[in-house]
Amino acid sequence: MGCLFAAALGEAGCRVSLLLRASRPQQQGAITVTTGAGSSSCPVILDSPAGSAAIGHLLVCTKAYDISDAVAGIAHRLDPATPVVLAANGLGYLEWFDTQLPGQPLYCCLSTEGAYRTGPLKVHHAGRGSNLIGSPAGLPAPAWLDDWTASTLDTRWEPRIRDAQWHKLAINCAINPLTAVNRCRNGELARDDRLRAQVTQLCDEISAVSRAAGFSRTAASIHREVATVIANTANNRSSMLQDVLAGRATEIAFITGYLLDTAERLGVAAPLNRRLLQELDRHER
């Protein structure tokens, strides 16, 4: 996703650098993005986190559990006014900024773009989606948003980004862990009677937690919207299932874990969500 966003912003006229995990001398590179209609290439600067040049705008596209380490590694290059845009699944990673970078202007990006890597700096844009950007602290839409809206990315400002984040988290809680534990594509959750009943129970629990947390829209619509997502993505493997199959850590702590932390704080029971968290925890250990 980082390469996809970088290429789109670069083609819109922004000067873009990629911060690579490994230390290396700064040099020129190019991102190649392919679609069903062909391919395009966008020049970028390949940079190291250990560099010294100031960062004027930071977009973080790591897994949720990598955000704190990634930002800590380049914190010396951030001005207190540098906007930081976090494009990650789940919730629970903003708290690190409260203690380590208090006052840093933070924004969150929720994306439904479909993309995957086919090689170093090579990305296949499998499906066009939309991108919501907003401020968890309630800041107004910034001037730099024009760079996004001028690009080929379908982007709009979302003033209620926390509600949108919770809504996406709720849908992920109902689908991703169940597909990961059962090693199945999304559509199997509707075809298999046992799994379909578990989806219903998960949605019941998620609805109760959402209502107690003040997210009434999610509480009222979660059953219907989860069914729609399952139908529309029937042949897809969830990102959590892909992580399990590849032997990678999952983002379960920032998805189901965050929901359960909220449920416990509000005194709401969510036993099936907890069982799925425990099963995936055992897998990762």
Neighbours of 23 (CB within 10 A): 9
Q: Give me the active site residues, please.
A: 168
20 three-state secondary structure: coil
Long-range contacts of 261-266 (CB under 8 A, 24+ apart): 261/92, 262/209, 262/213, 263/205, 263/209, 263/212, 266/209, 266/212, 266/213
Sheet holding 106-111, edge to edge: 58-60, 84-86, 106-111, 131-134, 155-157
φ, ψ of residue 227 in degrees (nearest 5): -60, -40
Helix (H) or strand (E) holding 96: helix 95-100
118 three-state secondary structure: strand
